[in-house]
Amino acid sequence: MTIRIYFISLLILLTHFAHAQSPTMRRGSYLGITGGTGAAWMAGQHNYGLENLSGTTETAYTGGAIGGVTLKGGHTIHGEVVFTFQKQRYQDVRYVPGMGNTREALIGKNLDFIYVRFPLMYRRVMGIKNGDTDIGDSKFFWGAGVEMAAMYDVDLDYTINGVSDDRFVFNGTFNDKIKFPPANDIELFNPMDIAITGSLGWERFLTEHFVFQTELKGAVSLLDINHKKWRIPNDLGVYTPSRHLMLNFKCSVIYYVNRVKRLDVY
């Protein structure tokens, strides 16, 4: 499915949240914005015929729109449309033919990803009880769900001693299955990803309509992010699937479409 289809599907879902009119839902529909930063890893990224390089933990950023329906009892259906900006940096000292007497060089692999992500989650607000107020009331919540992601852009850059150079990896000397990479780096990776996600957060009613939330959210890819044409065994004949792992701290401001009181919503 294309990015456009996912956008349309999620917009329809958020519109339904905002205009739900049943007695159960009408006070719990909300829309908002979210943004945050965190850490990203890539587990098992291969090196096109050579043994894997040593990856590092890198900073990731996320931001976009959110929406949902809060039902009675603290149960919530929550959806998002967010962009994530995540990168991976690999670096090792390797033997490279033609590098002079030492033939050892500092090899780098730099990846910069941009994804459009569509998390759909179940959330549960904890500690709902009689006597809760609206303005100033705060609660913890947790959530779990699945997110689909469409790759918006990716940039791959190999370096030798700090200078861009693809000869080290896209070379039949190392692996006879290697061909020179396509002109578009996106073709090296799977355009879609599916991940499981979970979160733990805290929210506070600022007014009867506005709520501030903070949230620690993690996600683990279920699919191999490498394109099926580029799932290449290394020099030991072993192929390792690649998967994204992310942990973000986010802040959100949401607006309840109708006037909200705790006991009315939950």
C-alpha separations of 146 from 27, 61, 194, 199 in Å: 25, 19, 7, 12
pLDDT, one tens digit per residue, over 58-74 is: 899 999 999 998 887 77
Tokens of 55: 């990856």
Quote the pLDDT of residue 130: 59
Please tell me whether the overall predicted TM-score, pTM, comes out greater than 0.85 for this model: no
- Cβ atoms of 147 and 193 within 8 Å: the answer is no
Q: Which DSSP category does 56 fall into? A: -
pLDDT, one tens digit per residue, over 199-258 is: 999 999 888 789 999 999 999 999 999 888 778 776 677 788 889 999 999 999 999 887
Instruction: Report the alpha-carbon distance of residue 210 to residue 257 in Å, rounded.
Output: 9
Quote the pLDDT of residue 25: 41
Which residues of the chain are under the pLDDT cut of 70? 1-27, 46-54, 96-103, 129-135, 167-183, 234-235, 259-266
Domains and CATH numbers, the chain: 3-265 (2.40.160.20)
Quote the pLDDT of residue 89: 85
Instruction: Report the alpha-carbon distance of residue 102 to residue 97 in Å, rounded.
Output: 10
C-alpha separations of 182 from 19, 50, 144, 173 in Å: 46, 19, 38, 18
Quote the pLDDT of residue 22: 47
